[in-house]
Amino acid sequence: MSGRQGGKAKPLKAPKKKSKELDDEDAAFLEKKKAEAAARKEMAARAAKGGPLVGGGIKKSGKK
C-alpha cells in the first residue's frame, strides 16, 4: 500500500463559475433586493429604539 490509499480521498476542485452578464431584469431584481434589505435594516433599527410595537391586547382587571 502506498501513501493515501487507505485514507479519505481528496475531493476534486469544483470548476470556477463563469461570470454571466446581467440583463435589465436581473439588474432590476438585484436593485429591488438591495432596497428591501435596506428597508428591513432601517425597520430593525427603529424597532430597537422604541418600546413595544403594539399597545393593545387583553388587560388584567387589577382586582386582588
Any idea where the domains of the chain sit in the sequence? 24-48
Name the grid cell of 39: 428597508
Give the predicted TM-score (pTM) of the model.
0.44
pLDDT digits (tens, 9 = 90+) for 11-61: 788 888 877 777 888 889 999 999 999 999 998 888 877 666 566 667 777
Asked if 47 contacts 53 with a C-beta cutoff of 8 angstroms, the reply is: yes
Could you give the angle at the alpha carbon of 56 between the alpha carbons of 62 and 61, nearest 5°? 10
Continuous H helices in the chain: 24-49
